[in-house]
Amino acid sequence: MRVAVVGAGAVGRSVAELAADYGQEVTMLADSRGAVVDADGVDVAAALSRKEANGSVGDMEVSDALAAEYDVLVEATPTTLGDAEPGFSHVRAALESNRHVVLANKGPVAERYEDLRDLEHGSDGDVLFEATVGGAIPVLSAIDDFGPDHITAARGVLNGTANFILSRMTAEGLDYDHVLSEAQDLGVAEADPSFDVEGTDAALKCVILGNVLHDGGYSLADATVEGIRDIPGSALELAAEDGQTIRLIGEATPDGVRVGPRLVPENGTLAVTGTQNIVQLETTHAGRLNISGRGAGGPETASAVLSDVRRLE
């Protein structure tokens, strides 16, 4: 497949670099400032060094580049809330010219699911977005395999940063601020960690799960969201005395979408440690399914993107 990659952050960059390894060809690569197009295959390494030196992968306007020849658009620009722009417009451009779309950007699927599905219905192209939930973990394809009607609920740990902080606080008896700075030093938390520690990121993933399970109906505004910022070490100690611990748990159930710190058994399935993610699916006839793995990171998320690209072949 000829792949157009929009977004050259950790994920977009990894998709471009790993595409050949998955038998795909990158014919367009764009960042927020410019784009490069080559029908014979973009020289990814050269484009990325150009970005390093000049701030952009190429000189072409992104809107012009979106009109070039390709089979599938990989949308990997940063997630934005509300109108989910500019990601949504990129997706629209691709679907209106009957190309497939693979999303790593959560915005369009979480905030404008119905708009996205409408565009898809009017297009010969399909939309897949495995990478938006749980990074490398094949959550959405598992739901697709079982059929959304056979999954009654989904829950899990869907933010590695928050999980790292809670598990370090528990293991070392340190307070939130201390562990947060450590996480920032390690590159596990961003300079502004709000998106992760306030539960927004996990909520977007659960909103997407809710949309997939119930064929739409949810956006971030419909989710009940609590973060972990004000969980003191003493709460984790008290939980531990009782054989429990606290994890930031997201749920998509028929009752709605909810994210918040919850008590779980400390040796239970959901009490994953570090940046690990886990998703638990309740099935109608096959009991409970647990899938865990790396929920973030460039190559990890790119592998989910490239699996979607292969599904579209």
Partner 1 sequence: MSDSETPQPHTVRLELVDEPGQLLAALRPIADNGGNLLSIYHERGNLTPRGHIPVEVDLECPPDRFGTVVDALRKNGVNVIQAGAERYGEQLTVLLVGHLVDTDLSDTLRSIEKCASATLEDLSVSAPEGRDEESSARLRLATQAGKRADVLGVVREIADRKELRVVEPLAEGSK
Stretch that binds partner 1, among 39-47, 86-94, 100-108, 231-239 (CB under 8 A): 231-239
Question: Can you give the three-state secondary structure of 241-285, one letter per residue?
Answer: HCCEEEEEEEEEECCEEEEEEEEEECCCCCCCCCCEEEEEEEECC
Residue closest to 157 by CA, chosen among 282, 300, 241, 264: 264
Contact residue for partner 1 among 234, 274, 284, 286 (CB under 8 A): 234
Q: Is 186 exposed, middle or buried (0-12, 13-18, 19+ CB in 10 A)?
A: exposed
224 binding partner 1? (CB under 8 A): no
Smallest separation, CB 137 to partner 1 (Å): 16
Q: What angle do CA 262, 171, 173 make, to 5 degrees?
A: 90
Distance of CA 16 to the CA centre of its chain: 17
| Structure tokens belonging to residue 111 | 């905030």
Q: Is 133 annotated as a binding residue?
A: no
Cα dist from 4 to 61, 77, 265, whole Å: 14, 12, 45
- Amino acid letter for position 170: T
Smallest separation, CB 213 to partner 1 (Å): 15
172 binding partner 1? (CB under 8 A): no
Residue closest to 220 by CA, chosen among 209, 232, 231: 209
Site string for partner 1, 20-59 (x = CB under 8 A): ----------------------------------------
124 binding partner 1? (CB under 8 A): no
Residue closest to 203 by CA, chosen among 135, 249, 137: 249
- Helix, strand and coil in the chain, % to nearest 5: 45, 20, 35
Catalytic residue among 205, 247, 258, 294: 205
Smallest separation, CB 217 to partner 1 (Å): 22
Contact residue for partner 1 among 52, 145, 149, 241 (CB under 8 A): 241
Binding to partner 1, residues 52-91 (CB under 8 A): none
Catalytic residue status for 205: yes
Choice between 217 and 233, CB closer to partner 1: 233
Number of residues in contact with partner 1 under rule CB under 8 A: 28
Q: Is 10 annotated as a binding residue?
A: yes
223 binding partner 1? (CB under 8 A): no
Choice between 77 and 245, CB closer to partner 1: 245
Contact residue for partner 1 among 32, 89, 141, 269 (CB under 8 A): 269
Beta-carbon neighbour count of residue 83 at 10 Å?
Answer: 14
Residue 212 backbone dihedrals phi, psi, to 5 degrees: -70, -40
Cα dist from 189 to 95, 196, 200, 275, whole Å: 34, 8, 14, 10
139 binding partner 1? (CB under 8 A): no
Residue closest to 124 by CA, chosen among 104, 96, 105: 96
264 binding partner 1? (CB under 8 A): yes
Stretch that binds partner 1, among 18-26, 159-167, 261-269, 297-305 (CB under 8 A): 261-269
Q: Which residues carry out catalysis? A: 205
Q: Binding site residues for L-homoserine, as ranges?
A: 190
Residues that bind partner 1 (CB under 8 A): 153, 155, 230-235, 237-239, 241-242, 244, 246, 249, 260-265, 268-270, 280, 282, 288
Q: Binding site residues for NADP(+), as ranges?
A: 7-12
